[in-house]
Amino acid sequence: MEGAVQVEAGSDVSEALLSQARAAKAAARKLVGLSTTVKNRALLAIADALVANQEEILDANAQDVERARDAGLDAAPLNRLLLTPEKIAGIAGDVRTVASLPDPVGEVIDGWRLPNGLQVSRRRVPLGVIAAIFESRPNVTVDIASLCLKSGNACVLRGGSEAILSNTVLARIAAAAERGAGVPDGALQFIASTDRALVAELLTLREEIDLVVPRGGAELIRFVAENARMPVLTGGTGVCHTYVDRAADLEKAVAIAFNAKTRNWSICNALDTLLIHRDVAAAFLPRIRERWGEAGIEMRCDERSLACLEGEGGARAVPAGEGDFGREFLAPVASVRVVDSLDEAIEHVATYGTGHSDAIITEDYAAASRFMEEVDTAVVYVNASTQFTDGAQFGLGAEIIDSTQKTVARGPVGLREITTYKWFVHGEGQVRP
């Protein structure tokens, strides 16, 4: 990649990786003062370049998909890996949306004058260098690069081996486009080696990297959280619940539960567990079984929900096994349970949820209010599908991650969430007594 150091297999990995991180650090110092005009021009150039180079991107992606399929990659990550002309157009559209958003850098958060005459304010500034380690999804390369650019951060990207060709092409295209628009050299660093030892080495570079974001499976997230020497922003693992309350509009509930599970079952905001109040279980469960059957969903049911589904037709219904509640399926499978009350539903989410996205379907304002207040989750819904948990859907253009943490940021992480603030103090000669 012209203008950025690439770590290739067989090279002195540690030396090259350190060189990349230092280059990003140097670029970050210049990015702080980069004008909004230049950043937006660069983002639009990236979007145009993605569309213009679509055939090259698709060719590289086809090779990745073929290799991953031959290696036996599961359906969910294979689905996330695949790029299409429509997906590329969507990625480019998200980059254009980022360009259209307000620049967070320099925003005055608040300010006041002290009795001694000092004028104190807080303004948004970039974090510095953000490292992202991710699996399967080539779009993450562009999403994170575009958000980091607009927020004035440099980035070091390390994608999974299954998407290495796709990511290499996307990073090269994006880096060339932003350099051509006036972005400092080195702002986008892509690690082209698939050597797994690089991840552990990257996590030691505390002086060069200000924040690391792991996006992938539980094993990757756990490894990064336990080994990183810099702050970590985690998330992505979603055990998402939809609770159909006794006061639910059942037609609305069927439509929402169908969308939350079937629109895309391989993503972290997909429905994993369906909870139904006992008063509406007999009326609701056969209806959702029929709809889910159209999409080939398997229902893993507790005893009471299974009793409501006697006979044949619709989705396959089987007894839930040990571990089916509290499991992120990433598959056309959902666990189902009948509960006696709103309290029991809230308790179930507290026991089995991961703090990602949870929903209640109800026409009862009091029940909705209690669920929203008491369910401890990053994104809580009333009468809507959990599949909306997404930076682009929330108007953020794209997202760095869907965070399940309560520090740094929570939920879809966009531009403001990857900035920090600096204190600005203006005086007229004051000295402290």
Instruction: Give Cα 186 distance to the centre of its chain.
Output: 24
Return left, alpha or beta for 383; rule: phi > 0 is left, psi -120 to 50 is alpha, else beta.
Answer: left
* Residue 246 domain-assigned (yes or no): yes
Print the domain residue range for 347: 240-388
What is the spatial distance between Cα 309 and Cα 252, in angstroms, rounded to a whole number? 20
Angle between helices 36-52 and 139-150 (to 10 degrees): 160
What is the spatial distance between Cα 317 and Cα 336, in angstroms, rounded to a whole number? 9
The pTM of this model reads 0.87
Which tokens hold the place of 411?
């939920």
Are 199 and 261 members of one domain? no
Q: How wide is the angle at C-alpha 383 spanned by C-alphas 377 and 386, nearest 5°?
A: 45
* Residue 163 domain-assigned (yes or no): yes
Cβ–Cβ < 8 Å for 189, 161? no
Are 210 and 226 members of one domain? yes
Cβ–Cβ < 8 Å for 122, 111? yes
Instruction: Give Cα 387 distance to the centre of its chain.
Output: 12
Of 191, 209, 243, nearest to 353 (Cα)? 243
* Residue 405 domain-assigned (yes or no): no
What is the spatial distance between Cα 250 and Cα 47, in angstroms, rounded to a whole number? 42
Are 61 and 209 members of one domain? yes
Are 259 and 191 members of one domain? no
Cβ–Cβ < 8 Å for 36, 152? no
What is the spatial distance between Cα 255 and Cα 288, in angstroms, rounded to a whole number? 8
pLDDT digits (tens), the chain, 433 positions: 334 444 444 444 588 999 999 999 999 999 999 999 999 999 999 999 999 999 999 999 999 999 999 999 888 788 889 999 999 999 999 999 999 999 999 999 999 999 999 999 999 999 999 999 998 789 999 999 999 999 999 999 999 999 999 999 999 999 999 999 999 999 999 999 888 889 999 999 999 999 999 988 888 889 999 999 999 998 867 899 999 999 999 999 999 999 999 999 988 999 999 999 999 999 999 999 999 999 999 999 999 999 999 877 899 999 999 899 999 999 999 999 999 999 999 999 999 999 999 999 999 999 999 999 999 999 999 999 999 999 889 988 888 989 988 877 899 999 999 999 999 999 999 999 9
* Residue 2 domain-assigned (yes or no): no
Q: Please report, for the domain that includes residue 297, its CATH number.
A: 3.40.309.10
Strands 379-382 and 357-361: parallel
DSSP string computed for 61-126: HHHHHHHHHHTT--HHHHHHH---HHHHHHHHHHHHHHHHSPP-TT-EEEEEE-TTS-EEEEEEEE
What is the spatial distance between Cα 31 and Cα 106, in angstroms, rounded to a whole number? 12
Which tokens hold the place of 21?
């991180």
